[in-house]
Structure 1
Amino acid sequence: MAADRQAPSILGFSPHPEWGPAAHRKALAGHLRRCRENVGLGPRQVARCIHTSEATISRMETGRTSFKPAEVEQLLDVYQVRDPRERARIADLMREAAQPEAWQPYANAAPAALRPLLAMEPAARRIISYEPQLVPGWLQTEEYAETVIRAVHPTKPAREINERVALRMQRLQMLRRAESPPVLLAVMDSEVFRRPVGTPGVMYRQIKHLLALLEELPYQLHLQIASLAVGAAGAIGHPIVHLRFFTPEYLPDMVYLEQYEDALYREKPAESERYLAILNNLCGVANPAEQTRALLEQALSAWSSQVV
């Protein structure tokens, strides 16, 4: 019987403005779905109860729409959520979910395929990234980022290029914040430091930037370099990002798979665990993080001889 079930609670998910609105929206969306399932109603039945469409209920339960307080209040009545603490917490989460996304000031330059990652990464407890071709976007210098973006989008106007660069630069700030910053573990192929991006000076300054970040963020940033000797473990042709959140019971792991001018996202537990296993295997065969500084200094020395 539905009445005998343990009612789901959202009290374990507290508002954290630094996590961004998408995390609050996704947590609330999942909670509303669990509340509906707890009372044994289908989306169509619920839609009829509050005089809306089944599609609207679906969008609310997947976090693909904004929440209207009046509709949510009606849903809570239908779901028999009477605890004032639960309803107050839901109201708090709705307020956070209605805030602007971090990428919105750069909306004209933020690729649609990248927006879910940009929206959710501030809420991550840990990020594992593998990059076979380039320095990861969070860690790029402004001139390195501009060179990469211009190469991919040679016909874009300078204004949009500059906006894309600015968007990329602000992503690092989440590692510097005082409240619950994510930990970033970035694995790069050794060829990233041999492949020229721009002039030798651009490469030299990019590597110096990585060394400076390791000094500045010893607890939040961990870099590993995978040599060609890792073999099949490094034969991954595209970047992968795995996000794990502070509250996994409300926010499941998310995987970002970059494609050329597109991206795929995976959130089903079996899929995210499979990609996590791939990344963990790669971390295991890459050079240990303790050797990264020496390897970067070697790469820096190689480029210094070419800097005019």
Structure 2
Amino acid sequence: MPNSPVVPTVRRRRLGTTLKRLRNAAGLTLEEAAAAMGWNGPKMSKIENAAQTIRPSDVAGLLKAYGINDAEVHTALENLAKDAGKKGWWQTYSGLVSASYADYMSLESDAEQICEWSPLLIPGLLQSAAYAREAITGITLSRTPEEVAALAEVRLARQSVLTRPSNPLELWAIIHEAALRQRFAVRPATMREQLRKLLDAAEMPNVTVQLLPLDATVHPGVLGGFSLATFARPTPDVVLLENLSGATYVEGDDAAPFAKAFERIRATALPVEDSLARITEMEEGHRK
């Protein structure tokens, strides 16, 4: 039986993109890099295009051929190769979780920082249980109540990256004020609890929350929300864009404009202290 084709996961794409960039920086062609490893050119091309796996020891060999002796670079890329096909806890929900969603959760687990601009919803890493259920119910078009409950469990489980003992994820979330003024007919207390969750999360040293007010000036974020994930060097940034048709990833140099856009949005938003004061005021208003 022929071998199954390798699935180009986002981890493999990150690794391939990085290896290609390092090869180009070393001034080597595909054929020259392959020859240094005793391979043929097509194999090297498949690795760089995430269509073939590569062993951590071979990553080390390539880096040596590229003249890279930095221990941190070796460790980061060898670990990425080791984890490229690794299954995460979310595989338990494989019947519900799409491949693109699973890819994003692998990004969250690998990332050092995520900068998220969220104009319409509270970011998933900051959602309360009730908000997650209501949001998923409202957004999805064909999910049963049981599936909604399971997807809400997944969303809450993702939040463990913020509290993991070693190198917890740094999250900088900018949320439009309009997202905090939504109403939930089934359970009116949902938003009050969600606002409290935001305030509690903002007390964590690795979580920053900013609010973009309704009367803000025009900024790049009017074109839509995005999540920008950054990793240990030298792996490139990855941006997630979402819509009804699914998820789109923007990787490598193409992610640079999103970093600039996030800085512009951050400058347009309320300062952190003013943001938390506004959220507190809104949360107190729900108690009346």
Give the TM-score, by structure 1 length. 0.74
Distance between the aligned counterparts of 1:272 and 1:82, measured in 2? Answer: 27
Does the 8 A contact of 1:132 with 1:188 survive in 2? yes
CA RMSD of aligned residues (A): 3.6
Q: In the alignment, is residue 166 of structure 1 matched against residue 149 of structure 2?
A: no
DSSP 3-state at the match of 1:179: coil
Q: In the alignment, is residue 178 of structure 1 matched against residue 161 of structure 2?
A: no
DSSP 3-state at the match of 2:216: helix
AA of the residue aligned to 1:170? A
Does the 8 A contact of 1:149 with 1:161 survive in 2? yes
Partner of 1:288: 271
Partner of 1:199: 187
Q: Deviations over 1:26-71 (max 9, x none)?
A: 3476337745985844369959x657x93x644422335544689x
Partner of 1:155: 142
Q: In the alignment, is residue 126 of structure 1 matched against residue 105 of structure 2?
A: no
AA of the residue aligned to 2:227? V
Distance between the aligned counterparts of 1:169 and 1:132, measured in 2? Answer: 20
Larger Rg: 1
Partner of 1:254: 238
DSSP 3-state at the match of 1:204: helix
Q: In the alignment, is residue 233 of structure 1 matched against residue 216 of structure 2?
A: no
Report how far residue 225 of structure 1 moved. 0.5
Distance between the aligned counterparts of 2:21 and 2:216, measured in 1? Answer: 43
Report how far residue 93 of structure 1 moved. 5.4
AA of the residue aligned to 1:283? R
Q: Which runs of 5+ in 1 are unaligned?
A: 1-20
Partner of 2:5: none
| Cα gap change, 1:112 to 1:191, in 2 (>3 Å) | same
1:189 to 151, 161, 176: 176
Correspondences of 1:8-87 after superposition (within 5 Å): 23=11, 26-27=14-15, 30-31=18-19, 34=22, 40-42=28-30, 46=34, 50=39, 54=42, 57-67=44-54, 72=58, 76=61
Report how far residue 104 of structure 1 moved. 2.1
DSSP 3-state at the match of 1:223: strand
Does the 8 A contact of 1:43 with 1:58 survive in 2? no
Distance between the aligned counterparts of 1:191 and 1:82, measured in 2? Answer: 51
Deviates more, 1:198-207 or 1:34-43: 34-43
The total of aligned residue pairs comes to 273
DSSP 3-state at the match of 2:215: helix
Does the 8 A contact of 1:226 with 1:234 survive in 2? no
Q: In the alignment, is residue 222 of structure 1 matched against residue 208 of structure 2?
A: yes
Distance between the aligned counterparts of 1:38 and 1:204, measured in 2? Answer: 55
Deviates more, 1:131-140 or 1:291-300: 291-300
Query: Identity of counterpart residues, as a percentage?
Result: 20
AA of the residue aligned to 1:254? V
Partner of 2:3: none
| Cα gap change, 1:242 to 1:101, in 2 (>3 Å) | same
DSSP 3-state at the match of 1:222: strand
Does the 8 A contact of 1:102 with 1:119 survive in 2? no
DSSP 3-state at the match of 1:114: helix
Q: Which runs of 5+ in 2 are unaligned?
A: 1-8
Give the TM-score, by structure 2 length. 0.78
Distance between the aligned counterparts of 1:39 and 1:136, measured in 2? Answer: 42
Report how far residue 286 of structure 1 moved. 0.8
Partner of 1:245: 231
Partner of 1:135: 122
Partner of 1:14: none
Report how far residue 267 of structure 1 moved. 1.7
Does the 8 A contact of 1:256 with 1:263 survive in 2? yes
Report how far residue 103 of structure 1 moved. 3.0
